[in-house]
Structure 1
Amino acid sequence: MVARYEDETGIRFENERFYRAYAAFSLAVVWEDFHRERIETGAESDWEPHIDYMLMIAESIATGEFPL
């Protein structure tokens, strides 16, 4: 997909680690909102472990521990 993007736009894709970490963090933010909404309505939420996991993935990508 990256090669196709580069071929069609003529723009070189750089900073892959940043964009992957940002995507993981953004997903954690969305899941956090699902969790918040359930808690505020008085329902039980099982989103917290998913949020923690995705934040761990985002951090490991950003620090270079997670191979790309």
Structure 2
Amino acid sequence: MSETIDMTPTWKSLLPAIIAAIEHGTPKGRRIALEELERMAYAADLAVELQKKLGENHLIAIDALKTVPESA
């Protein structure tokens, strides 16, 4: 039986690289970094809308997840 390891990076972990690309990257690197920031903003907006639709009870659960360490 094989085990799958999720290696998906978090937006938080990618942010320093995105900022560095904007500040010091090539024109193409800057464009790509700005596109990624747009995707981050879109994802954040979707999360806010989801929270609104799920209601207060789900916000409590989401807040509880924020206290779980990333390595968990």
| Interval containing the TM-score (normalised by the shorter chain) | 0.3 to 0.5
State the TM-score, normalized to the length of structure 1: 0.40
